[in-house]
Amino acid sequence: MPATTQLFDFPMSSGIQPGKMEASADPWVFRDGRKEVYGAAMLAALESTLQKLFCDPSDRALQLNALIAAGEMESALSDAAFAAQTLFSEITLALADVLLGRNFESLQSLAKHLRQTEVPHKLTTSPPEGFSYYALHPFDFVRLASAVLVRGKPAAVIGIRSIGVTLSAVVAAQLRIQGARVSRINVRPVGHPYHRTMRFNQEELDWIRRQRENYADFIVVDEGPGRSGSTFLSVAEALVDSGVPPARITLLGSRDPSPESLCTRNAKDRWGKFRFFAVSPDSTTRFQGHLICGGGAWRSIFLQTEAAWPATWPQMERAKYLSPDKKLLFKFEGMGPQGEAALERAHYLASVGFGASVQDAGDGFAQYAVLNGHCLDHADISAGALDRVAAYCALRAATFRVTQAPGHLTEMVRFNLWQNFGLEWNGSLPEEERAVFIDGRMQLHEWIQTDDGLLHKTDTVSHGDDHFFPGPTSIAWDLAGTIVEWDLSRDAQEFLLSRFEHWSSERLRAYIPSCVLGYAVFRASWCRMALSTVEGTGEELRLRTACASYYSRTIRTLRQFSHTEAGWNKPVGGHNPPKLRNAG
């Protein structure tokens, strides 16, 4: 590396002080999970699941997997405006019936048409987040519909794509059991996540008119609302514009928001015009008597002192429960195809000695054996530990390849650097360079040294393919994450990379500086986004401290580059030091 040159005309003590950063727009930490898939492959996967279900109709896991797969297919075909979506709408509803214990023969009859069905060469899909990340179960909406909706009254059910397609099917199936005459469609609002808009096409407007004339109640179904509530509001308000009285509109979602906190225009007034009901997740009932480990509660169980607690974003943690005897940990890894793939990775890592033994616990939960040992801290860093990390990264790089990286990782780093430092970056990250399902969580406390002295990795399958950046990418991201989280010296970094090259055929040194920068920028942005959700709680100080640490690491990393190497343009504002913007 050439001699470093000064990148900024401001001192290292440039005011990275928790709590003193000025307000700004949200950082970019959530990635777009959409991807292109072959329509024929998607159809074949659904057919295969249905055939298994026909051999064992009572298998609830197969029922759920088939329902989720059919809902994804219906959503993708609806986005493509392809005629086959009508058949898949019927199949999704039939599978919802099967989940509720009825009309199996109807499903068998519909499935016979699949082999003659044409689908597009390629379809765009996105993971249903509630089923993949948040332990949201279709039965949660079945119970909600049974409890809050008027029995026997005509119902016009609208699912918001994508997961709302599946959820609307189970709501419609439950309403039919309750004696209602039900009609169902699905829609896709568009626009900025905080300002969605919904424009019904003529066919949808005709459907709304017919339902209105039948005095139907309109039921809008989706997970959420998210940070803005604008997706729900866009559909509800478009219904009002189409002549539906607000009193006949009910919104069903997965969380009950505080209208004042929704970040869309006039949120409180707009939200208050409609009835909204949220589900009560069933997992808390299933694990009665277990210790709740989600939302950061695991720290008080597995870490000795509160001073050692890492910062967390409580609302974004996976659901986790510890058995009363503290020997088994139940963690939600996802339902449907994504959950199946995650469980396969967990089984493999356990089989080669890197992860704890694991079993499928049903409904998207995995059952892990609790390892006897202690979480690493900086005193445990050694040549042996670094060699173990290097071998782990090499194994992932060789085993968990993907054919399609999601992209936008470089754009995320550029956006967050501009937002927080006022700097333009023309560099890039190795997004598609031998992309793999990375680990994504290389913090010291994620490694356990067992009583026999061997290091095991926890939390191995969720974060490399969730709704946060980076998504599947080069294993250089995990190596960079280790460098940052373990605060490795130059000699230790060199040793880690040399041991990775020993265990792997890949040579990734050229990518490490940009990945270290990208990792630090992302984690700082992640902490800043999390801060907006924990104000006034004990988590706030931990997140502010972590955010400041990642900001400091970003500046230290920038100073190691020359302008040419890093691909920097002139700092915005000439010689004036760029302000660090708000971390919360």
Pairing of strands 455-457, 447-450: antiparallel
Pairing of strands 455-457, 373-375: unpaired
Distance CA 530, CA 538 (A): 13
Report if residue 460 sits inside a domain.
yes
How many domains is the chain partitioned into structurally? 3
pLDDT of residue 569: 42
Which residues, 6 or more positions from 11, have their beta carbon under 8 angstroms from its beta carbon?
Answer: none
Yes or no: say if 31 and 582 are a contact pair by the CB < 8 Å rule.
no
22 beta partners? 581
446 and 492 in a single domain? The answer is yes
Q: What angle do CA 157, 159, 164 make, to 5 degrees?
A: 140
- Helical segments of 100-178, H only: 104-111, 129-132, 138-148, 163-177
253 and 313 in a single domain? The answer is no
Q: What is the CATH number of the domain that holds 172?
A: 3.40.50.2020
Which SS3 state, helix, strand or coil, does residue 353 take?
coil
**234: its two tokens:** 């866009």
360 and 496 in a single domain? The answer is yes
For residue 305, the tally of other CB atoms under 10 A from its CB is 8
554 and 447 in a single domain? The answer is yes
pLDDT of residue 5: 28
Query: Which candidate, 526, 524, 446, 525, places its Cα nearest to that of 478?
Result: 446
Report if residue 133 sits inside a domain.
no
Report if residue 581 sits inside a domain.
no
Q: What is the CATH number of the domain that holds 390?
A: 3.90.1200
Is the alpha carbon torsion for 536, 134, 235, 212 positive or negative?
negative
Report if residue 408 sits inside a domain.
yes
392 and 487 in a single domain? The answer is yes
Prediction pTM value:
0.88
Yes or no: say if 44 and 87 are a contact pair by the CB < 8 Å rule.
no
346 and 226 in a single domain? The answer is no
371 and 401 in a single domain? The answer is yes
- Helical segments of 242-376, H only: 267-271, 283-286, 298-302, 336-351
512-531 vs 539-558: helix crossing angle, rounded to 10? 150
pLDDT of residue 67: 97
Domain final position from 95, 125, 155: 125
Domain final position from 280, 312, 333: 280
Give the structural domain span for 39.
35-125
344 and 464 in a single domain? The answer is yes
pLDDT of residue 428: 87
Domain final position from 246, 280, 314: 280
Find the helix or strand (DSSP H, E) in which 565 lies: helix 563-566
**251: its two tokens:** 């919104």
Collect the ranges in the chain with pLDDT lower than 50: 1-24, 563-584
pLDDT of residue 580: 31
Per-residue pLDDT tens over the stretch 344-357:
999 999 999 999 99
pLDDT of residue 227: 87
Report if residue 132 sits inside a domain.
no
Q: What angle do CA 86, 88, 89 make, to 5 degrees?
A: 65
Query: Which candidate, 300, 452, 457, 450, places its Cα nearest to that of 373?
Result: 450
pLDDT of residue 16: 32
156 and 247 in a single domain? The answer is yes
**Secondary-structure percent of the chain, ordered helix, strand, coil, rounded to 5:** 45, 15, 40
327 and 259 in a single domain? The answer is no
Distance CA 115, CA 123 (A): 18
Report if residue 117 sits inside a domain.
yes
Report if residue 24 sits inside a domain.
no
DSSP per position, 199-249: ---HHHHHHHHHHHHTTPEEEEE-S---SS-HHHHHHHHHHHHTT--GGGE
Yes or no: say if 430 and 315 are a contact pair by the CB < 8 Å rule.
no
228 and 247 in a single domain? The answer is yes
Per-residue pLDDT tens over the stretch 253-282:
999 999 998 999 999 999 999 999 999 877
Report if residue 572 sits inside a domain.
no
pLDDT of residue 150: 86
462 and 491 in a single domain? The answer is yes
259, 522, 572 from 40: Cα distances, Å: 43, 36, 49
Q: What angle do CA 156, 161, 166 make, to 5 degrees?
A: 70
